[in-house]
Amino acid sequence: MRDGFIKVAAGTPKIRVADCDYNAGQIIALMKEAAAQGVKVLALPELCVTGYTCGDLFLQPTLLDGAERALERILEETAELDLLTALGLPVRNTNQKLYNCAAVMHKGELLGLVPKSSIPNYGEFYEARWFASGRNCDEEDAVWLCGEWVDMSPRRLFNCYTLPELTIGIEICEDLWAAEPPSGALARVGATLMLNLSASDEIAGKADYRRALVTGQSARCVCGYVYADAGEGESSTDLVFSGHNMIAENGTLLAEKRFSTGLTISEIDVGRLAHERRRMNTFAAPSDGVVTLQFNLGLTDTTLTRPISPTPFIPSDESRRGERCEEILTIAALGLKKRLEHTNAPCAVVGLSGGLDSTLAILITAKAFDLLGRDRKGILAVTMPCFGTTKRTRSNAELLAQELGTDFLEVNIGAAVKQHFADIGQSMETQDVTFENAQARERTQVLMDLANQRGGLVIGTGDLSELALGWATYNGDHMSMYAVNASIPKTLVRHLVAWEAHQRGGAIADVLRDVLDTPVSPELLPPKDGQIAQITEDLVGPYELHDFYLYYAIRWGFPPRKVLRLAQRTFGGRYDRETLLKWLNNFYRRFFSQQFKRSCLPDGPKVGSVALSPRGDWRMPSDAAAKLWLDELEALS
């Protein structure tokens, strides 16, 4: 539960129709198994105490009395379990109406009853024959159950006061199929985790629809969603129940089982959901009579089993990666296309170094020209060798321009930089930040002036990772007239260039693959034995770590301890804790100190969920202090 993670489960017990005592034993065993595995919230199927397929037996008091006795037994035998459980049973009120209910319990205490609102009146199981809708039940509709008066209302939330971000709402099967599922209203007033107690029969193709409903509703409500389905033991007179259990979070399916009994387990990150809710105004509405009840779970560490990608910016679904790459490239190219059209600029000027970022920038620029129907000779690729340029990168720049069919120009800036050094009294032997940045600023001056000569635009090449770290020369490579890579992190830049190599093939693919094999470097210091002397990742840290930190620290607002915890789980086999902490410290230190560079960024298209434009996704004062974040990291050291 620490760091906002809560282990949840959907359970399907093997039952016998109308054998309530047997079913109670199976439920108790499943609850104990869940508790032993660290589960804190468990959803069990609709009417699992009796079985969903009892038919007219639901009208028999013998069955209803048996269900109540079974519930009493379950409460008694699970009183020691620190586990909130919602299970289904039929409940009659004082007016002798019958309701299909979820009983919510914790440590032997019955916290409340939530009746099903949407009662189906079609198909083989015509529930309206036996059950009334609980839509209009409210706090005054208490029922006598298990020796006590228990509130029964669909407008109930259950909040954990040891983990305030965990607020649970309940809906039952058909409620999810309704035009306005109860989960929508419950999410608006605070539910971050929805439990659905279901008995959905299985027919060919229905699983896809059911899965889409669950994942879609979890996305719409920005919540976790646990769907527990009836399975083996239900009557097969006319239908089969598959136990299709699912756990989803904000549109992502975390775990799923079908055609089996037992537990389906994962972890919901309610801290992440709470952060997303804070970013939105959608979740602010009148309470509409919703009452929140409190319960307490012991605060423990949650063992994580949910998938955590080491490359969160790269599509995880391999079957759709190509589609996503084309989508990203097209979005970026369309942004540039619009800017070229709006300014009537006949030319695009790209500083082509032979490195990864400028390679992606010229590929995007070529795509924009193709979309405009223009000759790629309108693209001027400029290579500007200086003190740190190697033959490898110089050659790759020229080859790439040649293969793309762009115009190409070499401007050696060495003499101009030396003259500038003489003007300001900078020694060639002093290879400090001035030595490096003078080259970057000279290159930008050349590009800007060439663009002025041709009535064109300078296309920026800096990527999102560099912007996060401030790894750019202010008013050097930091500046352009349109920055096509500005929301593309380094790991994704690499992935996109690799995709282009795969798609294109031939000589251009050979060039792109060599660019991919070239160490990332600004090439501002003289080579050693003809090889690149300045390796960026040796200086600022591995980009795979910084992109991971950027995604979780900025996109999801995770505190440093949580980012470190996820990094240890994800990269623990490759980096020790000390190394992860070192580069995480560097990330926060640089992110805060370099905001001034992001405050005056040129325009550029947003292609993903993280961007640092001062006009859009990220508003931060340039002099904000990093002390709170660095102090937390210091305490973790």
- 568: its two tokens: 């240890």
Q: How many CB atoms lie within 10 A of CB 518?
A: 19
Respond yes or no: is residue 101 known to be catalytic: no
* CB half-sphere exposure, 42, CA atoms < 13 A: 32
Q: Which of 20, 48, 101, 173 is catalytic?
A: 173
Q: How many CB atoms lie within 10 A of CB 542?
A: 18
d(CA 87, CA 11): 10
Residue 356 · residue 466 · CB < 8 Å: no
d(CA 181, CA 407): 59
Q: Containing H/E element for 134?
A: none
Q: How far is CA 42 from the centre of its chain?
A: 24
d(CA 412, CA 179): 66
Q: Which of 13, 53, 52 is nearest to 237 (CA)?
A: 53
Respond yes or no: is residue 46 known to be catalytic: yes
Q: Which of 7, 20, 40, 46 is catalytic?
A: 46
d(CA 400, CA 437): 26
Q: How many CB atoms lie within 10 A of CB 211?
A: 17
Entry field: residues in the chain: 637
| Strand boundaries in 230-305, DSSP class E | 245-249, 252-257, 262-269, 291-295
d(CA 146, CA 169): 23
Q: Output the furthest CA–CA distance in the chain (Å, rounded).
A: 101
Give residue 181's region: left, alpha or beta (phi > 0; psi -120 to 50): beta
d(CA 363, CA 508): 11
241, β-bridge pairs: 201
- 65: its two tokens: 């009395």
Q: What is the DSSP letter of 304?
A: P
249, β-bridge pairs: 224, 252
d(CA 13, CA 49): 10
Q: How many CB atoms lie within 10 A of CB 305?
A: 14
Q: Which of 7, 40, 116, 490 is catalytic?
A: 116
By CB atoms closer than 10 A (0-12, 13-18, 19+), residue 380 is buried
Give residue 4's region: left, alpha or beta (phi > 0; psi -120 to 50): left
d(CA 481, CA 560): 35
Residue 310 · residue 570 · CB < 8 Å: yes
Q: Which ranges of 160-269 would DSSP assign to H, the alpha helix?
A: 174-177, 182-188, 206-220
Q: Which of 385, 362, 366 is nearest to 374 (CA)?
A: 366
Residues 6+ apart with CB under 8 A from 145: 68, 71, 91, 110, 113
- 252: its two tokens: 């992502």
Residues belonging to the active site? 46, 116, 173
